[in-house]
């Protein structure tokens, strides 16, 4: 196991020299997996990718919840979870709970029912306050505005029939 983690770390490090890496875990049922968190300073984003095989191993039963945590990274304002779109088109009752420093998202498996594409990304990012009207800024004050977003193959996407639940600090 240590060799696999080291090999994955070295591969990401040498393939993406502008990025730093850290490790985290995903748990589901009685299983746990080690994941690489790709921290891109250039994009101010931290992301984790879950593949179909790992998702199936972590959610072996209907109604399971998969827990993924992305730790704090300095100067990062966007936290992403990449998933195969095929997983988010099913109705097995499986949820993914993504915990980030900006908050926690609960993503149901039927989120993109009927959509076409390869990969989906869901996450939280700090919203650009400069696009808000003055009256909205007066109400918000100095508080951080957090945006929940979803993408399919890198393009903004609307959710089909399910809802993302967010818990923000």
pLDDT at 63: 64
Q: Considering the domain boundaries, does residue 164 fall inside one?
A: no
Q: Considering the domain boundaries, does residue 167 fall inside one?
A: no
Q: Report the chain (169 residues): mean pLDDT per 10 consecutive residues.
A: 42 47 82 90 93 86 82 93 90 89 91 88 92 91 89 85 76
Q: Considering the domain boundaries, does residue 168 fall inside one?
A: no
SS3 127: coil
CA-wise closest residue to 25 among 33, 14, 17: 33
Please give the Cα distance from 49 to 96 (Å, whole number): 13
How many domains, in total, are found in the chain? 1
pLDDT at 1: 41
Phi and psi at residue 27, in whole multiples of 5°?
A: -125, 150
Please give the Cα distance from 97 to 133 (Å, whole number): 32
Q: Considering the domain boundaries, does residue 165 fall inside one?
A: no
Q: Considering the domain boundaries, does residue 37 fall inside one?
A: yes
pLDDT at 94: 86
Contact 42, 77 (CB under 8 A): no
Strand partners, 151: 121, 156
Contact 99, 67 (CB under 8 A): yes
pLDDT at 20: 53
Q: Which domain holds residue 82?
A: 2-159
Q: Considering the domain boundaries, does residue 154 fall inside one?
A: yes
**Torsion sign over Cα 115, 122, 37, 23:** negative
Q: Considering the domain boundaries, does residue 120 fall inside one?
A: yes
Strand partners, 121: 82, 151
Q: Considering the domain boundaries, does residue 24 fall inside one?
A: yes
């Amino acid at each position: 196991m240590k060799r696999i983690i080291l090999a994955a770390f070295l591969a990401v490090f040498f393939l993406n020299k502008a990025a730093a890496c850290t490790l985290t875990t995903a748990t589901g049922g009685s299983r746990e997996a080690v994941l690489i968190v790709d921290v891109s300073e250039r994009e101010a984003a931290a992301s984790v990718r879950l593949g179909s095989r790992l998702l199936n191993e972590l959610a072996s039963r209907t109604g399971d919840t998969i827990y993924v945590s992305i730790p704090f990274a300095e100067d990062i304002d966007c936290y992403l979870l990449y998933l195969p779109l095929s997983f988010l088109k099913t109705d097995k009752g499986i949820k993914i709970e993504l915990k980030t420093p900006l908050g926690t998202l609960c993503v149901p498996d039927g989120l993109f029912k009927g959509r076409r594409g390869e990969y989906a990304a869901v996450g939280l990012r700090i919203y650009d306050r400069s696009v808000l009207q003055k009256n909205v800024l007066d109400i918000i004050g100095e508080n951080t505005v957090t945006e929940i977003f979803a993408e399919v193959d890198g393009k903004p996407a609307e959710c089909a029939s399910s809802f993302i639940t967010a818990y923000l600090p």
